[in-house]
Amino acid sequence: MARTFETRLAELGVTLPDAPAPAANYVPYVQVGDLVYVSGQISQNADGFMIGKLGDNMSTEDGASAARTCAIALLAQVKAACGGDLDRLVRVVKLSGFVNSTQDYTEQPKVINGASDFLVEALGDAGKHARAAVSSPSLPMGVAVEIEGIFQIA
């Protein structure tokens, strides 16, 4: 019997949370054909928002950990878009990652690797994607990372 995405996540010790509600006047995702466009998900864990500025008061490793939480929230939104059946996910198409960082910080790709590496580990080939990793002078609520994504579903 083939492993499901949920089984693979469980093997990694990850249980998807309920999909986070939007914080303003937008929807968490929009489906167009077989593509789901997921709004930016900000870094947060059980303790709350993961706040910090890379190159100032947060390490690249901590930033990568924050990016991983964004990837988990993205998958939670995809699961909601799929009516609770994450196995309808065909593949991750593209991620756009925003890193709250100082002007001279240059390791944005290493930070967003926290999301990319997690998605490939959790989803295998379906997790491989195109990507952008860019710097931002600030992000909502002072969070370290925000990531939006495009996903193909069946």
pLDDT at 1 > cutoff 90: no
Question: pLDDT exceeding 90 applies to what percent of the chain?
Answer: 92
Whose structure tokens read 């069946």?
A: 154
Given a contact cutoff of 8 angstroms between Cβ atoms, the answer to whether 117 and 97 are in contact is no
Q: What is the pLDDT of residues 39-86, one digit of tens each?
A: 999 999 999 999 999 999 999 999 999 999 999 999 999 999 999 999
Q: Looking at per-residue confidence, does 20 or 152 come out higher? A: 152
Give pLDDT, residue 115. 98
pLDDT band at residue 21 under the 50/70/90 scheme: confident
pLDDT of residue 3 exceeding 90: no
Q: What average pLDDT does the chain have?
A: 95
- Which segments within 33-153 are labelled E, that is strand? 35-42, 44-45, 48-49, 89-100, 130-136, 145-153
Task: Provide the whole-model pTM.
Answer: 0.96
pLDDT over threshold 70, residue 2: no
Give dist(CA 92, CA 76) in Å, integer: 13
